[in-house]
């Protein structure tokens, strides 16, 4: 019957977080930018209505895997309303999740395209598209409580995949990890008091995928590893 029918109290709690995220106007610089992008648009999307609001998390309420990125792309999530949807980074992410058995389809282009995740949930450290893809420290800290609330509700999560240094720094800070291991693709950080493992991955940005810094094989290996870490026999 699907997650919504099976776990109504949990889903309702996540819906409240989603509603609070979507209705957030806390950071004036981000509000101005996300709305300006939604009005000016990119030429290829001139006929589309942009979301132009903060972008909530998305996925299975009983996720064992949480994926955390940096922020919505100006013409990706800020356009579609779903995190990692409608841009090349999303193509890489959902393609990898599909190959690993976490997603029912390899692409995501809109909110109503039929994408469903199983045992995975995708979120971002910052929920509004930032200018030059660079949130300020204050914006990061203002947004962090939303991710904290999601993590508190997603009690089955055992692995957090962080996409890039920014997301890694946020999660290490949030989980109080000291000393902080150096970020690197494939690096794993145990959080024993939370029964969690952080798995680091390079972000699937064009800067990384076009240059070969992140290959499809490298990205697939991350999610093969998350499968092993969340296996019931582990």
Instruction: Specify the pLDDT at position 56.
Output: 98
Is there a contact between 81 and 52 (Cβ–Cβ < 8 Å)? no
Q: What is the rounded (10 degree) CA torsion for 150, 218, 179, 122?
A: -10
Instruction: Specify the pLDDT at position 5.
Output: 45
Instruction: Specify the pLDDT at position 234.
Output: 58
Q: What is the rounded (10 degree) CA torsion for 125, 227, 192, 185?
A: -60
Cα–Cα distance list, 145 to 17, 119, 142, 170, 215 (Å)? 10, 23, 7, 11, 33
Is there a contact between 83 and 124 (Cβ–Cβ < 8 Å)? yes
Which alpha helices (H) appear in 24-176, and where do they start and end? 28-40, 77-80, 88-99, 137-153, 165-175
Is there a contact between 105 and 115 (Cβ–Cβ < 8 Å)? yes
Q: State how far the Cα of 67 lies from the Cα of 199, in Å rounded to an integer.
A: 9
Domains along the sequence of the chain with CATH: 3-229 (3.40.470.10)
Can you give the pTM of this predicted structure?
Answer: 0.94
135: tokens are 């949130």
Question: Residue 120 — φ and ψ, nearest 5°?
Answer: -140, 150
Cα–Cα distance list, 154 to 3, 61, 79, 98, 188 (Å)? 13, 6, 26, 21, 20
Instruction: Specify the pLDDT at position 3.
Output: 41
pLDDT digits (tens, 9 = 90+) for 199-221: 999 999 999 999 999 999 999 99
On the 0-12 / 13-18 / 19+ scale of CB atoms within 10 A, 195 is exposed
Q: State how far the Cα of 79 lies from the Cα of 200, in Å rounded to an integer.
A: 27
Q: Which residues of the chain have pLDDT under 70?
A: 1-7, 233-234
164: tokens are 């890039």
pLDDT digits (tens, 9 = 90+) for 23-66: 999 999 999 999 999 999 999 999 999 999 999 999 999 999 99
Q: How many residues does the chain have?
A: 234
DSSP code for 161: E
Is there a contact between 128 and 33 (Cβ–Cβ < 8 Å)? yes
Q: State how far the Cα of 165 lies from the Cα of 61, in Å rounded to an integer.
A: 26
Instruction: Specify the pLDDT at position 8.
Output: 75
Q: State how far the Cα of 156 lies from the Cα of 196, in Å rounded to an integer.
A: 10
CB atoms within 10 A of CB 111: 13
């Amino acid at each position: 019957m699907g997650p919504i029918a099976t776990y109504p109290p949990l889903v309702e709690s996540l819906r409240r977080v989603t509603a609070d995220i979507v209705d957030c106007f806390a950071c004036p610089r981000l509000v101005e930018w996300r709305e300006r992008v939604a009005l000016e648009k990119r030429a290829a999307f001139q006929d589309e209505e942009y979301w132009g609001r903060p972008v909530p998390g998305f996925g299975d309420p009983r996720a064992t895997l949480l994926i955390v990125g940096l922020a919505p792309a100006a013409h990706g999530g800020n356009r579609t309303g779903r995190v990692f949807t409608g841009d090349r980074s999303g193509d890489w992410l959902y393609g990898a999740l599909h190959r690993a058995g976490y997603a029912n389809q390899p692409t995501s282009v809109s909110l109503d395209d039929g994408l469903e995740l199983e045992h995975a949930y995708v979120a971002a450290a910052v929920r509004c598209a930032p200018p030059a893809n660079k949130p300020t420290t204050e914006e990061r800290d203002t947004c962090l409580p939303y991710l904290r609330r999601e993590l508190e509700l997603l009690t089955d999560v055992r692995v957090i995949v962080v996409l890039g240094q920014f997301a890694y720094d946020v999660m290490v800070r949030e989980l109080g990890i000291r000393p902080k291991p150096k970020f690197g693709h494939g690096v794993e950080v145990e959080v024993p008091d939370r029964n969690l493992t952080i798995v680091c991955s390079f972000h699937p940005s064009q800067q990384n995928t076009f240059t070969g810094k992140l290959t499809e094989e490298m990205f697939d290996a991350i999610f093969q590893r998350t499968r092993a870490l969340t296996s019931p026999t582990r």
